[in-house]
Amino acid sequence: MTGEATPHVTDDANHGATTVPPVEELPSTAPPAAPQVDADLGAGERAGRRPPAVDVPELARLLDGRYAEVRGLVRSNLADYASILEEAETLSRADYRERVRDLVVEMAATGQTGMGFPEEYGGGGDLGASIAAFETLAFGDLSVLVKVGVQFGLFGGAILQLGTREHHDAYLRDLITGKLMGCFAMTESGHGSNVQALGTVATYDLASGEFVIETTSEQARKDYIGNAAAHAELAVVFAQLHVGGESHGVHAFVVPIRQDGEPAPGVRIEDDGLKMGLNGVDNGRIWFDRVRVPRSALLNRFAEVSPSGVYSSPIENPNKRFFTMLGTLVQGRVSVGGAGINAAKVAITLAVKYALRRRQFEATSEDAEELLLDYGLHQRRLLPLLARTYALHFAQEVVRGQLHDVLSEAGDGSAEDEHARRELESRAAGTKALGTWHATRTIQECREACGGAGYLSVNRFAALKADTDVFTTFEGDNHVLLQLVAKGLLTDYASDFEDLDQLGTVRFVTSLAVETVIEKTSVHKLLERIRDVLPGGDQWDQEAGLLDSDYQLAMLRFREEHMLSGVARRLKRGMDQGMNPGEVFSRVQDHVVAAANAHVERLTLEAFVDKVRGLPDGDTKVALGLLCDLHALSAIEADRAWFMEHGRLSVNRSKAISREIGSLCRQVRPIAGELVDAFGVPPEMLRAPDLLGTEA
């Protein structure tokens, strides 16, 4: 690449084993006695080593993992349908919606969208492949992505996971092909995250053997429902089930909402109108005026109503039943998180490629202007985001594997099985939150880094920004999801997890003895483990090498467990003072979210470190080791105030971390182009003539 400097890489030894190099070989954290020419250089740069030679196909195969063939099919389909990117800007909203629908049906014919369904109905029988295909589809038009998610992930997934053989035989084959279009009617105008309080009611009529679906108030109308405004014939409707005057909580029903293209009797449908983005998806509102459906409309995997009006369920506890039903739909959160991460890949690819061809100012020579990516500030803006994108890719890989394992196996209902499901739900929620927030931040920073060119619609940032913005709130508001993560951590995924709402969580945690709270969060034990691995005794965090992944992980583990311990203590203190549990929780809510965020940050780094350590020695391992170090140190630097407040980071050490980040950016700079090429964004999706110097 033209305009490259020749920085060098740091040794990757610490990513291959837990052995810590001798302290005297590490860069000093103390200020030099006198000015040094190489004061701002990192250890790797001073070592004088060459940049790693990145084999793009090899790295791409590593990123694609076991689903390389699946991702290849999706990339091929995206290339064939590249015209949708321009059509999204030129077609009317109605025509754009029809074009998106047509593309979804065409993609279904390739097998791309049905990979998670049973083979006997025309699917691929591999849930992990389904998630991988969906993630890859995020390289293209995101209205197509969301339409696919609604049809096959939400509507189809609900019938698959909540229904039984009768429902599978009736609907799966046609919905897999797109012949039968449906929607997922859970959210209401008055209730989004609090699904247990939905206002729609389904009452069993003993005389007719039917359920009567009714919207009980204006706040109970179904809202923001994808596929509802134009295309869905059926809806999976979540409603409070009433049988014989008794309420049994929220259940799901298959309800016809259109007949011959018109609203079905008793059904009223209204378009939600123009949105910030995703205008190729027909979101709408639905009202039900005593709509009658047969008894078989109940998706009855977890509950049944007999013809004589007797309710039964294999799960006696109503709260556990509710959370079990919702837990089977966790793939939506996994899918959205992965889609956000892949949308970030498109943005960082565009910005890095632009920075490798765009010149600005004569900084080091009077003969030529410098490439943007040769400027230290530009490296600082983009390359930590590139490193974090890789980190989240590998974190997503872990949660995708957990999802495949948990939902592909029937399970025996054991405590271990339930614990695995709870851990999956928590990890899916946390990774979705971090992945979608990362997409929002990355797309904005990359847009700014491309200047005026990034503001032109043809260069994709307009659509990326508008279409991904809602990712942070659909399939669960990120702040609510992180509270779910914290709930699991504080209760250790207790067997009565389902009974614990916010107030129940407060009471559960504060009912423990102080010693038990400390034992659960065990910062003191963590410190003992750290001392066994890292040098320095009580000064481990001041004497370990900055590029030692054990040190990096120890810092994030300390923050996580210290925060959790603090939350538990604050909850207990509030209750001991006689405060209302709701007020206690409200006062510590920000602390709760911070603790959950710290937990997921640690899991993300852990996934990256594990991936690098598992690689054979070679340039690919060296390159990913650089990114892993850059991600880890950037995470510590971003929260340096907390680490300094809690005595884990000195001023000199903090400055050393910032210097090392600059050094790592310079070492990543020569390989940045190859690193984004390995994401495999189809060239047809990089519709950016002003950024890439190509024709529109």
> DSSP 3-state assignment of 311?
strand
CA geometry: angle 218, 224, 228, nearest 5 deg = 100
Q: Measure the CA dihedral 458/462/463/466, to 10°.
A: -170
**In whole angstroms, how far apart are CA 124 and each of 146, 207, 376?**
20, 42, 47
Q: Which 3-state string (H, E, C) describes 573-595?
A: HHHHCCCCHHHHHHHHHHHHHHH
- Rounded Cα distance between 474 and 464, Å, is 16
Strand partners, 182: 234
**In whole angstroms, how far apart are CA 280 and each of 262, 337, 377?**
20, 21, 38
Residue for token digits 């390739």?
110
- Rounded Cα distance between 666 and 662, Å, is 6
- Single-letter amino acid, residue 625: G
DSSP-derived pairing of the beta strands 291-294 and 311-312: unpaired
**In whole angstroms, how far apart are CA 585 and each of 193, 501, 590?**
18, 11, 9
Strand partners, 312: 304
- 182: tokens are 């449906």
- 73: tokens are 């099919």
**In whole angstroms, how far apart are CA 240 and each of 202, 212, 462?**
6, 11, 40
- 491: tokens are 């209760």
Q: DSSP characters for 503-554?
A: HHHHHHHHTS-HHHHHHHH-HHHHHHHHHHHSSSGGGHHHHS-TT-HHHHHH
Among residues 475, 498, 561, 660, which one is catalytic? Answer: 475
- Single-letter amino acid, residue 526: L
How far is CA 153 from its chain centroid?
A: 15
> DSSP 3-state assignment of 343?
helix
- Rounded Cα distance between 649 and 29, Å, is 11
- 590: tokens are 């920000």
Active-site residue, 87 included:
no
How many CB atoms sit inside 10 A of residue 14's CB? Answer: 26
- Single-letter amino acid, residue 139: F
Strands (E), 587-676: none
Strand partners, 213: 202, 291
Backbone φ and ψ for 305, nearest 5 degrees, come out as -125, 120
Report how far apart the first and last C-alpha atoms of the chain are (Å, whole number).
24
- What sign has the CA pseudo-torsion 517, 550, 396, 436? positive
**In whole angstroms, how far apart are CA 423 and each of 284, 377, 485, 599?**
34, 39, 9, 12
> DSSP 3-state assignment of 185?
strand
CA geometry: angle 571, 576, 581, nearest 5 deg = 50
With CA atoms as reference, report the closest residue to 348 among 455, 497, 194, 454.
454
Which residues are annotated as catalytic?
475
